[in-house]
Structure 1
Amino acid sequence: MSAVPRVPVVPRVPVVDFHGHLAVPAAEALVAGTPGLAAETAAEQRAHSPASLAVNLAQLGRLRAKLTDVSARLADLDAMGVDAQVVGPMPMHHYWTGRDTAERLATTVNEAVAAHCARAPERLYGLGTVPLQHPEPAVTLLERAVDGYGLHGISVSTTVDGRELADRAHDPVWRAAEALGAVVFVHPWGCSLGERLATHYLGNTVGQPVETAVALSHLIFTGVLDRFPRLKLVAAHGGGYLPTYIGRSDHAWRVREDARGCAEPPSAYLRRLWFDSLVYTPRALRHLVAEVGADRVVLGTDHPFDMGVDDPLARLDAAGFAPADRAAIAGGNALDLLLKGRNA
C-alpha cells in the first residue's frame, strides 16, 4: 500500500496589515494658518483637479472616526480578518517647518501614535515621524520614539522639502534607525509632477507610484543601501513602478559608468527592501513576489482610504501562493520586521 503524501502543516501566524493611517488633529493645529502650510497645500492642489480636491475633502470628513478612534479601527480590522495593524501618521511630516516647530510637531505626532496604539497594544504597532530636514534632532526624536514611546520606527515621505531621501544629510538618521532596528516606511505624500497630473486623480494613481519609484531609485543608485545594509526600509504601494521595470535599471548599471553608484546591480537591492502588497491584482502581486521574494512582502491595505482595499486576505489568496509563502506575506514577515533585531 503506497504511503499518502504528507502535506506540510504551516502554523498560523497573526495577520498583520502594515499600512494603516492615523490623523493627529493636535499636530495639524501647530501649523494651521502658517505660510508654510499654505504653500504646501497649494503645491498639493496643483497636482489635483477641483473635482478631486472636493472628493478628498469629503472623504476626510467621512473617515474622521476611522482615522482617530481606536474602536472604529479595531472594528474595521475585525471585518477584514486582520489581527494587527501597523499605524503611522496620515502622513503629516511638514518638512518645511523650522527646527522648533518641527520638533514640537514630531513629538506631538509620536505621542499621539503611541497613545493610540496603547489602547490595543496586542493589535496595534506604531510608527512615528521625525524632522528629516533637521537631521540632528531627528536622530534624538527617533531614539525617543523607539526607546521612550515604544514605537517601531518612522514613516517618511519620498522627498524632504525638495531634498532626496538619499541625500547624505540624512545618513545620521539611517544610521540610527539601523542601530535601533527601527522600520522606515516610505510613503509618498504629494506628487512633484504637479499640473501634468491634475486631471482624473492622476496625481495619486500615477503620481504616487512614480514618487516611490524615484525615491527608491535614488536610495539604490547612490549607495545608501550599501552604506546601511541592515536598514529596514519598507515601501508602500508595492514599491511603485520600480519592481516592474527594474531590468532597465540593471541595464543602465551595466552599460553606463555614470549609472554605477551602487556596488551591485539595482535589482539585487530589491531583496534588501520590503514592499507592501497593495498592487491590487493577483497577477501584479505574483509579479512583485517573483521580483523581490515572498520573504520581502508584507500585507498592506492603506486603511481607511478609498485607494486602499478592505479584502486583503481574499486578494492574497487569489494570487495562489504556497502555504508557507502565504503565511509569510499575511503576517510572518511583518512580525519579523517589527520584533526582530530591535536595539541590536
Structure 2
Amino acid sequence: MTAPPTVDVHAHVLLPAVEDLVEGLPGLSEARTLDARRNGPAALEVNRVMIGERVPRLTDPAVRLAAMDTQGVDIQLVSPSPSHYHYWAGEETAETLFRLANEATAEHCSAAPDRLRGLGLVPLQHPVLAVPALDDALARGLSGVEISSHAPGHELSDPAYEPLWNRAEETGALVFLHPFGCTLDERLDRWYLSNSVGQPTENAVALSHLIFSGVLDRHPGLRIVAAHGGGYLPTHIGRADHAWRTRPDAASGCAHPPSHYLRRLYFDSLVHDPHVLRELVRAAGAGRVLLGSDFPFDMGTPDPLGALRAAGLSDADFEAVRGGTAAGLLPRKD
C-alpha cells in the first residue's frame, strides 16, 4: 500500500490585497493601537523584521513549494495570516474582505492544487455573514475557514454562531481555530508573552466555550482543528473535569465531562515540547492530532517531522499524525 502524504495543516499566506483594502479606513488606527498595547514595542520591531524576511515564503508559491520539499512535506493546508482578520471592520468592508481573502488564497493554492489546500476567512464580528463567508470559501474550492478565538462582543459559544456550526457540519468543512491577540492586553506586553502565553490562553478559553456551552453536543460532526495543540486545555483538562463533576453551574451546558470532547476535536502538533506532544496524543488520541508547523513564522518549527519524531510515538501513532488522519480530512484533488 502507498503511504499517505505528509500533511502540514498549519501554514500561512500573506495577502497584500487585504491590507490594501483596509488601509486608511476608520477603525484601522485604533486596531493598530490596541495591537501595539498588547505586544509592546520590542515585539512589534522584531515582528517587522521577521515578517519582512519571510515575505517570499508567504507570498510566492514556488518558494513555498521548495521549502516544503526541504521539510519533507507533501501537502500544506494554507490559511491567511491571522493579521488579516480585521474584526473591527464594518459589515460592508467585512464582506468585501472575506471575498477578497478567499479569492486570493484560492489563487495562491491554484499554483499547485495537488499540494496546496486553502482556508478562507469568516468575519466573526458579523455573525450574519458567517455562513455566506463559509459558502464563498467552499465555492472557490477551499477546504473550510479560519477563525480566531473570539470577536468583539462575541464568544464562540454565542448562539448567533449556530448557523455557522450547522453549515460547517452539513458541508464537512474544516474550521481552523487560530487566535490572534489576547485580551490580557498590557499584562503580556513584554518578552513576547503576548504570543507565548497569550495564544495558548486564548485557545483554552475558546475551546472551553465550545465544550461547556454544548456546541459540540449539538454538532457532533463539526471538524474543528485547534492550532498550537489546543493551548493549555488538553494537558490541563483534569481541572475542567473536576469543575464539571463538582459544580452544577459548570455542568449545566454540556452532557459529558470536558475531557470527553477532546476526541471530537482535532489539534495540530505545534507544542514545542515532545513530552507535551505525547500527552496531547494520550489525551485526544493520535487520530485527533495533525502535523502543524506554523510555516513560515518564527514561532513555528522549520522541521515539523523532526519535532514529531522527537515525541517517540509508536509507529502507528506517528503515521496518523504525520498525515494519515489529515488525508481523510482533505479529499484528493486530481
Q: TM-score, normalised by structure 2?
A: 0.96
Say whether 1:125 aligns with 2:117: yes
Q: 1:191, CA displacement in angstroms?
A: 1.1
- Supply the AA of the counterpart residue of 1:236: A
The residue type equivalent to 1:305 in the other structure is F
Identify the residue that residue 197 of structure 1 maps to in structure 2: 188
The answer on 1:225 being equivalent to 2:216 is: yes
Report the Cα offset of residue 217 of structure 1. 0.5
- Runs of 4+ that moved beyond 6 A: none
The one of 321, 329, 338 equivalent to 2:330 is 338
Tell me, yes or no, if structure 1 residue 116 matches structure 2 residue 126.
no
Paired residues of 1:44 and 1:191 also in contact (CA < 8 A): no
SS of residue matched to 2:225: strand
* Alignment RMSD (CA, Å): 1.2
Is 1:153 the counterpart of 2:144? The answer is yes
1:88 is paired with a residue whose SS is strand
Partner of 2:325, secondary structure, is helix
User: Conserved in 2, the CA contact under 8 Å of 1:212 and 1:235?
Assistant: yes
Q: Which residue of 2 aligns with 1:5?
A: none
Q: Deviations over 1:222-255 (max 9, x none)?
A: 1111111100000000000001110000000000
Check the 8 A contact 2:124/2:150 in 1, yes or no. no
Q: Which residue of structure 1 lines up, in the alignment, with residue 291 of structure 2?
A: 299
Q: After superposition, where does 1:246-261 map in structure 2 within 5 Å?
A: 246-260=237-251, 261=253
1:11 to partner: Cα distance: 4.8
* 77-86 or 25-34, larger mean C-alpha shift: 25-34
1:298 to partner: Cα distance: 0.2
The question of whether the paired residues in 2 share the 8 Å contact of 1:143 and 1:180 is answered with no
- Aligned length, in residue pairs: 330
Mapped contact 1:20–1:88 kept (Cα < 8 A): yes
Residue type matched to 1:34 in 2?
A: L
Partners of 1:329 and 1:134 in 2: how far apart?
A: 35
TM-score by length of 1: 0.94
Match of 2:27, SS state, is helix
5+ residue gaps, structure 2: none
Q: In structure 2, the residue corresponding to 1:63 is in which secondary structure? A: helix
CA distance in 2, matches of 1:287, 1:164: 28
The offset of 1:328, in angstroms, is 0.8
Q: What is the aligned counterpart of 1:141 among 125, 130, 133?
A: 133
Q: In the aligned structure 1, how far is the partner of 2:297 from the partner of 2:286? A: 26
State the 1:40 CA deviation. 1.5
* Mapping of residues 181-192 of structure 1, within 5 Å: 181-192=172-183
The aligned counterpart of 1:311 is 303
Instruction: Pick from 241, 253, 262 the counterpart of residue 270 of structure 1.
Output: 262
Distance 2:88 2:219 in 1: 26
2:4 touches 2:327 (CA, 8 Å); kept in 1?
no
- Where does residue 7 of structure 1 map in the other structure? none
Q: Counterpart amino acid of 2:121?
A: T
CA drift at 1:263:
0.5
Provide the residue aligned with 1:212 in structure 2. Answer: 203
5+ residue gaps, structure 1, are 1-9
Distance 2:133 2:122 in 1: 6
Deviating more after overlay: 103-112 vs 277-286? 277-286
